[in-house]
Amino acid sequence: MKGKVVWITGASSGIGEALAYTFARKGAKLVLSARREAELMRVKNNCKMNQEDVFILPLDIEKPETFATLFQRVIARFGTLDILVNNAGISQRSLVKDTPLAVDKRLMDVNYIGTVALTKTVLPTLLAKQNGQIVVVTSAVGKFGSPWRSGYSASKHALHGFFDAMRAELYNDNIKVLLVCPGFVRTNVSINALNEKGEALKQMDDATAKGLAPDDVARHIVKAIENGKEEIVIGGLKEKFGVWMKRHFPSVFSVMIRKMAVR
């Protein structure tokens, strides 16, 4: 990782912040993006590395029309890009029957359209140099649907379809694609999750509060990047068991998931 240019979205907190520190320890050059510039500056200061090697670039993932200009600033600063980590996203806690289509659309715009748009923005540069990696932080519910997260699950499933296809297309161009499927992680994901009104839930889930530490998740992600993995599931026994059951015993899993306390 030493000297590689890594662009991380959603870098102001949670997994994205932990990734910034992990890449910093590896000697990478960082582009840190999120909406909150003050929080990005805090993360930059905590990276404890040459400040010239950390570039703060505020970005709103719902505004893809700005991506080309922002990417030009990355190239102007570092001259290239080696790894894009698509980590920005938003979760959901509401039932299908109570959730208007506008909430589903926003979840798709943030989690899917924004991620695809930013990837397409940087792709010509990676193709030109015939080298690079695209990392996409999806979710364990990108592998199975979960109550209270219908739109969120849908957006994460969409990422798997798109990036699995892209990986196959770009194999001969030496561009790697890693899909990361975390389970419960101790972040603000449930606090910021959209409810049926499209507003922040402002409540910590018990399962999220008891989840993995973001630093542990970040270390697993960076190791997977270094090893050229295509997909990893990071979580506790419950999440990994759920993915396994959905794949091998879907009818049994269907009974399990409707009985589980997932909110």
Which active-site residues does the annotation give? 152
CB 61 within 8 A of CB 9: yes
CB atoms within 10 A of CB 7: 26
CB 177 within 8 A of CB 133: yes
CB 18 within 8 A of CB 188: no
Backbone angles phi, psi at 193, to 5 degrees: -60, 145
Q: Which residues contact 166 (CB under 8 A, 6 or more apart)?
A: 119, 134, 177
Using alpha carbons, select from 212, 211, 231 the residue that is nearest to residue 221. Answer: 231
CB 66 within 8 A of CB 59: yes
Q: Residue 135 pairs with which residues in a beta bridge? A: 85, 178
CA distance from start to end of the chain: 38
Sign of CA dihedral 21, 26, 31, 33: negative
Percent helix / strand / coil, the chain, rounded to 5: 50, 15, 30
